[in-house]
Amino acid sequence: MLILIILAFLVIAYLDAPKLWQKKYWRELAVMGIVWSLGLALSLALALNLPVPSPAKLLARVFGPVTEWLLRLIG
Amino acid sequence: MREEGYISPRQAAVLLWFAVLPTAILFLPALLALRAHQDAWLSVIVATLAAGAVALVVYLLAQRFPHHTLFQYCELILGPVTGKTVALIFVLAFFLLDAVVIREFSEFLVTAVMPETPALFFSLSIVAVAVYAARNGLEVIARCTDFILPLMVTFIAIVLLFATPEMAPRNLLPILENGFRPVLGGALVSWSFLGQIFILAAYGAFVNPPRALRASLISGLLGIAFFLSLVTMGTILVFGSCEAARLTFAAYALARVVSLGQFFERIEALFLAIWVGGVFIKITINLYVVALGLATVTGLKEYRPLVAPLGALNVAMATLLYRNISEIRHDLLLVEPGWTLTWQLILPLFLLVMAWLRGKRRTGI
Amino acid sequence: MKARLRLALALLLLALMLPVLAGCWSRHEIEELAIVMAVALDAVPGDQVRLSVYVAIPRTIAGGPSMGGGGGGEPPKAGEVISATGSDFAQAARRLESLVPRRLLWAQNRVLILGEELARQGLHYLDLFTRERQMRLTTPVLITMGEARKVLELPPGIELMPGTILTGILRNRTTFKVELKDLLAMWEAPGDNPVLPQVVMTPTPEQESREVRSDGEDKGQKGAYKEEGKKTPPEAVAIKGAGAFRDDRLIGWLDERETNGLMWLRGEVREGVITVTLSIQTGGNYPGQEQGQKMGQTITPDQGQGQPAGPVEGQGQNPSQNQARARTQGQASVIFHRASTEVKPRVEGSQVTFNVEIRGNCDLTEATVSLNPDRPEHLLAIQEAVNRAVEERVLAAVRKAQQEIRADIFGLGETLHRSNVRYWRQVQDRWNEEFTRAKIQVKVDLYLNRLGMTNRTPGKTLDIGGKGATQGSTR
């Protein structure tokens, strides 16, 4: 699984990175690198069953009460 | 950054349909039946009126900043720092929305069709295709709809038409049994789907001619309301409100009851194929907007290199977001309304007010 | 170098996709499937349930029904009945899979048959059949007295499979049809209670033939067959009558007449035949002989018997009244293709009254009583008898529901719910109780307006007018 994930991310990197490097688009390369490494890190963490908090939980904590308030507002 | 293509107002409207309908017809009718019982279809209409507010805000913003995307005028209105922050919030919101859609998609396929296949496989394969399409730009996505739209419309029409023998008009009565409150509660739930027409703020800049944006918004919203209320009504008519609320996947259940004579039945496989096409567009357009937004915020010349990593991150996020379908339903009912109201109406409204106060507008290119 | 790397990568990708692209992930070849054609659900002692399935044997189906048989004379069975017990149906289904050399495919299931005992315990066992993705909400549901499994062991007739036989009968619309989703809707609606059409085995198997297995485990098909072999196997099935529920529990049974009344009241009647017994008091005159003597020769509806029972007591009096003359007593049958039922609830104080209006058109299809339909009043008499018969049936069903079942099996509560929400709120929670006190008034307006291909009943005219009599009447 881990190998497959790393392989997949290498393929993704190979799609665009060399071209960006050639064109000297450093900014693009940096942003892409960040997103890419975030993705890799998250995927690996999930594959290794590390406890990653779900953003849905965060949203639920903040906007759950908002929705509840809205529901109370209308009925 | 600029995108080099243009889409016609008609395509913009159709893209709006695809940005809302695919997951909405599957999940929404049952949730609405839960909230509003037999008046679920009224909820859709009320929510459409509410979504009209979003459309209005999107339109007014687009009037002030023609040829500018949402992410661009965030900066123009609020200045570089706050503007970028707000734009980043929008990017994140679209990103999360996309992840939710991917998750809903794979969850449905695993539950209803192929329980032995891992969900990851479905999300991976649809995102791979979506990445490919999104890298080709908005024009290509818009042209994809030209292929899928007739299929989708025909199929919804076929399902609704051929399910009529199973329908009982009395299931819709009594109207407004418990007054307007359940309807409003349902409207709040359907709002979180209908509010997604806000996505037009992100790609509306590429509609040519720009003043036709109003027509796209109106026909987009009306089309969504039309199909959504028809499917909701069909579900209630066939199953009754009690049973409809028990369904997990309303439109799919509707496709399964179709039986004409003894030969035209079991058309759910067809439904599946077409629905997957619709969801593909929905995921693609969201992915495209996320990549475009991120590129704008970080000041890149190209959004293309971001698409594939974002797609990968999205798959991981979709896996992470929820543990099970019950959490999705809980979120759709009790979290999404507040969240979508905030970023699809309040935040844009705030932008509009700020633009008006600061007298910011940009005419011409 | 670069081009070669690209090629290598592309090839690697292709190789990786190969197992996926073949679409063989969760593939099930048809040769590996055991296709379930009918399902029977029973309760067995010890809080267990028994799931019996009728699995098609592909060989016999492929051979065609007429080809098979061979020397044995007995038509080959197109399938096998397999059953397993468990504490719930999911467990039983899993055990079932340990008895079959193939994977069970439920998607083609034609019919769901509930056994009496299970139905008395409650419908909540049906959850599996709505939750499992292969199951269809459009599957017809039937109920049977005694064991449901017996129905599956029906020998093949015109159709090979019991499932096909039952759905075929249902398609004839002699009785009402309840699909799984309708059943759930009836159960879940607050002003409604489920009713299910009943399968009857003819000759009816004795009720006490329910084998009691103390260990709760089924011995599989063979064990059951040995026990079965001693009795005469049931020859055929009929779908008639109905099982009536209060909430989710079976309470009682409706007979054929009451079921018919129920169908009228529920507005489920699509087509059907109604037979009434008539007597003609002609005073020696054949109807149609003379125009002037209308008063002496009216046809009066008899007691409006609904059953097409052969010789009724009326026929016994026949010879004494008229010898070798026109048959003054007999039956008339009408067929109708379209009928509508309208229920209007009315609330006065705490008294709920349901005004039921039944409307429709019917055609005369058989008359064994001598009549001359050219005379409108004869048709009117038949029409009146038909209306009375329908009314009787409806009232019989109402009596049964109010007095024995004590549950609103007609969904009248829902019509009240739709029309008078405020009052409904008050009685909602105790509707079944309230229902037993409700007044139900039936008004039947069925119009007899077609005669079919002939007019006068056949036979010698035997009256003074001779051959001219019929012509005379049309004057």
Sheet containing C439-450: which strands, arranged edge to edge? C299-301, C272-280, C329-348, C351-367, C439-450
Half-sphere exposure of C435 (CA within 13 A, CB side): 30
In a domain, B301, yes or no: yes
Tokens of C245: 């529920």
Which domain, by its residues, includes A12? Answer: 2-74
Instruction: Give the A:B interface size as CB pairs under 8 Å.
Output: 119
C-beta separation of C446 from C360 below 8 A: yes
- The confidence score (pLDDT) of residue C233 equals 54
Q: Which of C130, C138, C421 sits opposite B257 (nearest CB)?
A: C138
Residues of B in contact with C417 (CB under 8 A): 174, 177
Residues of B in contact with C185 (CB under 8 A): 239-240, 242-243
Verify cis geometry, omega within 30 degrees of 0, for the bond prior to A51.
Answer: no
Q: Over the range C285-311, which residues count as b (16 or more CB within 10 Å of their CB) and which as e?
A: bbbbbbeeeeeebebebbebbbeeeee
- The confidence score (pLDDT) of residue B285 equals 93
Closest B-chain CA to C108: B266
- Please give the CATH superfamily to which domain C272-474 belongs: Nutrient germinant receptor protein C, domain 3 (3.30.300.210)
CB–CB contact C133 B177 (8 Å): no
Q: Is the pLDDT of residue C208 over 60?
A: no
In a domain, B179, yes or no: yes
Report the interhelical angle of B268-297 vs B119-135 (nearest 10°): 60
Q: Is the pLDDT of residue C467 over 60?
A: no
Q: Which residue has the higher pLDDT, B350 or C311?
A: B350
Burial class (CB in 10 A: 0-12, 13-18, 19+), B51: buried
In a domain, B89, yes or no: yes
For every residue of C201-219, DSSP letters joined together read EESPPPGGG----TT----
User: What CA–CA distance (Å, rounded) separates C278 from C275?
Assistant: 10
- The confidence score (pLDDT) of residue C326 equals 55
In a domain, B169, yes or no: yes
- The confidence score (pLDDT) of residue C297 equals 39
Enter the ipTM: 0.90
Give tens-digit pLDDT for C282-293: 544 444 433 333
User: What CA–CA distance (Å, rounded) separates C360 from C390?
Assistant: 12
**Residue C34, amino acid:** A
- The confidence score (pLDDT) of residue B98 equals 93
Q: Is the pLDDT of residue C388 over 70?
A: yes
Give tens-digit pLDDT for C15-27: 777 666 665 666 6
Residues of A in contact with B334 (CB under 8 A): 60, 64, 67-68
Q: Which of B173, B177, B243 sits opposite C181 (nearest CB)?
A: B243
Which domain, by its residues, includes B287? Answer: 9-358
CB–CB contact B257 C184 (8 Å): no
Short-list B197, B175, B220, CA closest to B42: B175
Q: Which of residues 15-74 of A touch B (CB under 8 A)?
A: 15-17, 19-20, 25, 27-29, 31-32, 35-36, 38-40, 42-43, 46, 52, 54-56, 59-60, 62-71, 74
Q: Which of B188, B299, B322 sits opposite A27 (nearest CB)?
A: B299
Give tens-digit pLDDT for C110-141: 889 999 888 888 888 888 888 888 888 888 99
Q: Which residue has the higher pLDDT, C374 or C138?
A: C138
Average pLDDT rounded to a whole number, residues C157-185? 81
Q: Is the pLDDT of residue C456 over 50?
A: yes
Q: Which of B96, B305, B337 sits opposite A32 (nearest CB)?
A: B305
Q: Is the pLDDT of residue C259 over 70?
A: yes
In C173-255, DSSP assigns E strands to 195-202, 236-246, 249-254
- For residue C138, the distance in angstroms to the closest alpha carbon of chain B comes to 6
In a domain, B213, yes or no: yes
Give tens-digit pLDDT for B34-93: 888 888 888 999 999 888 999 999 998 888 888 888 888 888 888 888 889 999 999 999
User: What CA–CA distance (Å, rounded) separates C136 from C375?
Assistant: 53
Q: Are strands C439-450 and C351-367 parallel, antiparallel or unpaired?
A: parallel
Residues of chain B with pLDDT under 70: 1-4, 261-262, 363-365
Tell me the three state secondary structure of residue C144. Answer: strand
Q: Is the pLDDT of residue C231 over 60?
A: no
Give tens-digit pLDDT for C48-90: 889 999 888 776 555 444 444 444 445 566 788 888 998 888 8
User: What CA–CA distance (Å, rounded) separates B114 from C168?
Assistant: 31
**Residue B75, amino acid:** E
- The confidence score (pLDDT) of residue C232 equals 52
- For residue A47, the distance in angstroms to the closest alpha carbon of chain C comes to 20
Phi, psi of C81 (to 5 degrees): -100, 125
In a domain, B4, yes or no: no
**Residue C258, amino acid:** E
- The confidence score (pLDDT) of residue C461 equals 62
Chains touching C (at least 3 CB pairs under 8 A) are A, B
- Quote the number of domains for chain B: 1
What is the CATH number for B273?
1.20.1740.10
Confidence of residue C203 (pLDDT cuts 50, 70, 90): low
Burial class (CB in 10 A: 0-12, 13-18, 19+), C471: exposed
- The confidence score (pLDDT) of residue B286 equals 93
- The confidence score (pLDDT) of residue B95 equals 93
- For residue B176, the distance in angstroms to the closest alpha carbon of chain A comes to 14
Confidence of residue A1 (pLDDT cuts 50, 70, 90): confident
Q: Is the pLDDT of residue A56 over 90?
A: no
Give tens-digit pLDDT for C332-372: 888 887 788 888 888 888 888 999 898 888 888 888 877 77
Instruction: Give the B:C interface size as CB pairs under 8 Å.
Output: 53
Using CA atoms, how far residue B354 sits from B61, B350, C45, C283, in Å, is 11, 6, 74, 101
In a domain, B365, yes or no: no
Give tens-digit pLDDT for C82-97: 889 988 888 888 888 8
Half-sphere exposure of B237 (CA within 13 A, CB side): 20
Mean pLDDT of chain C: 74
**Residue C277, amino acid:** T
For every residue of C254-320, DSSP letters joined together read E-HHHHHHHHHHHT---SEEEEEEEEE--TTPPTTS-GGGGGGG-EEE-S---S--SS-HHHHTHHH
Phi, psi of C220 (to 5 degrees): 85, -170
- Quote the number of domains for chain A: 1
In a domain, B181, yes or no: yes
CATH 3.30.300.210 location in chain C: 272-474
Give tens-digit pLDDT for C406-437: 888 888 888 888 888 888 888 888 888 888 88
Confidence of residue C305 (pLDDT cuts 50, 70, 90): very low
